[in-house]
A = this chain, B = another copy of it.
Amino acid sequence: MADVVPKERKILVAVDEGEESMYALSWCLKNVISQNSKDTLILLYAKPPRAVYSALDGTGYLFSADILATMEKYSNDVAACVIEKAKRMCREQADEVKVEVRVESGDPRDVICQVAEKINADVLVMGSHGYGLIKRAFLGSVSNHCAQNVKCPVLIVKKPKCSSSGTK
């Protein structure tokens, strides 16, 4: 085993309000973060942009400004809640690891790819489903898209189901 100085790795973890991304974070803390490492964990949450709500409103008259503001407020609350939960998990499972937080607005596919590129992440960790409050507004799988478009290694973690259903 090479006795190398631990590299300072940037581990980008995309989190959302689903259980799967929290499981992915937990798996990462247990399996990727090494003890006494200089790893930095960057927790990334992609908030849906306001345009998404408008797009849902085909007529352009269905949602009043009030409703849009309420949705924006709700979306901020969810973001704060998700980030708080993720930070708590980091403290509990790997309290020595350095944690940074980023909350960005946009299609999670673009946000995740752009941040991975911008911070020059060493690895991107994410769940296989979900990402985004209004999932149906984002067609296709976020993890698929990121695996294809991000340059760094991508670790896709699925939350195991309780029962081991039939294997092909």
CB-CB under 8 A from A97, the residues of chain B are 1
* Chain A 81-93 interface mask (CB, 8 Å, partner B; 1/0): 0000000000001
CB-CB under 8 A from A152, the residues of chain B are 158
Binds B, one of A47-55, A72-80, A131-139, A140-148: A140-148
Residue of B whose beta carbon sits closest to that of A113: B168
Q: How big is chain A's contact interface, by range?
A: 35 or more
Having A32-B32, A155-B156, one finds 9 other A-B pairs with CB under 8 Å, namely A1-B94, A1-B96, A31-B32, A118-B167, A141-B148, A147-B156, A152-B158, A153-B158, A156-B156
Residue of B whose beta carbon sits closest to that of A95: B1
